[in-house]
Structure formats: structure tokens, C-alpha cells
Chains A and B, each alone.
Chain A
């Protein structure tokens, strides 16, 4: 069952601008992960944030997690054309090998 839900469904920005997308979930999690998918390709893992963490950075990516609101956000700073892709959040529960993926946010970066 899909637990993560991304918002917005689609986002179009100018190169150099920041892109923010959100993920909401329903039940307790062990961690929340963000993935990127270029058109017609497999998913690539971007970042994992654990339930006891509030913020994590990786290069131009910043992820926040608010367990009280059951939500997470992914910020891409200084976007580039190569950031054009779909971004998915995935929820991982304790003692569970499975991830629950959301429907994704499609980001288009205009040159």
C-alpha cells in the first residue's frame, strides 16, 4: 500500500531557482527515503533520514522530517537542467524490508 504522498504532483522552475516538494505519510516510520527517476530509467537513491533526525544535507539537497506532522520535504537548491526528473519519497517501517513509495513529483527545470 502506498503510504507516502508527494505534493505537488508537478513543478516547473527556472534554472538556478530552488525546488521544494513535500511528502506526507500516515503511520509511524523507521526512516524516510528520497529517490530520483529520470525518464524511462530506474530509481536512484538520494538521501535517507531516520525518524530521530530532523534535517539532513547532501550536496544541493536538504531534507527535513517532522514526525509530529508526519511529513518530510526535499529542497533542491540552485537547480540545474540535469535535475529534471521525478522524485519519490519512500517510507520504511521498523522490522520491515519493504518500502512504501508515493506517486512522485515531476520536476522540470527550464534553461
Chain B
């Protein structure tokens, strides 16, 4: 089955800790994205990557970091510099030559304790 997976489904973080959210896709997509969703709101773009070893900041990159060492993987680290990290995080991927249909993972809900 082709698809995009995220893990874990739920994540709890203590204040001051860094945590890493996983995103993997086997769709052979070139571009990958990380979004943040707060209750009752739309999606805000954190980071995106069009090709391996390259990524760009989105609208709300502060306090987050990413890497794109493999085409299939695009992990997101929520650092202690992110002051309000409690949110639902969604990863997506798409074919090159955008703006194309995006395929989304099931999401990770991050809660700061």
C-alpha cells in the first residue's frame, strides 16, 4: 500500500524538551510539507522541501527544524524555542511541478505538559 505515515499518533512533551515527529512516504513524491493546525483553524505551513537535502521555511518556522536526507523521510523537530507547541501536526507530500494535490498523513497530536 502506498501512503504517508506519521508517528507517533500522540506525543507528550515537558517544557524545555526537544521532540521529533516522524513522517515517511512511499509514494515516490519529491515534495514534502509540515503543517500545524490549531483547534478550529486552518493549516499553517511550517517547512517544506522540494528535493532531498533542500528545504525552505514556511509561514511559522520559528522554533522548528527539519531535515531531508532521504526522499522518503522528512522529520520535524519541535525545539524548546517554540513557546506554544501544543497543536496537531500534519505532514503531506506531492509530486513535483506543483501546485498539485497533496497527500496527508494521519497527524501527530503534540501536547506540552
Contacts and interface: CB of A to CB of B under 8 A. Distances in A.
B98 A96 contact: yes
Given A41-B106, A43-B90, A43-B104, A101 B99 contact: no
Contacts of A61: none
B42 A98 contact: no
B98 A98 contact: yes
B58 A98 contact: yes
Given A1-B59, A42-B90, A92-B98, A101 B107 contact: no
B31 interface: yes
Nearest to B107: A42
A97 B101 contact: no
A90 B102 CA distance: 10
Interface residues of A, number: 26
B61 interface: no
B63 interface: no
Contact of B106 (A42, A90, A101, A103): A42
Interface stretch (B11-19, B43-51, B65-73): B43-51
Contact of A99 (B41, B90, B99): B99
Nearest to A43: B104
A63 to B, nearest CB: 14
A86 to B, nearest CB: 9
A28 to B, nearest CB: 12
Contacts of A102: 42
A33 B104 CA distance: 14
11 contacts: A1-B59, A31-B99, A41-B106, A45-B103, A92-B98, A93-B99, A96-B99, A97-B98, A98-B48, A99-B99, A101-B35
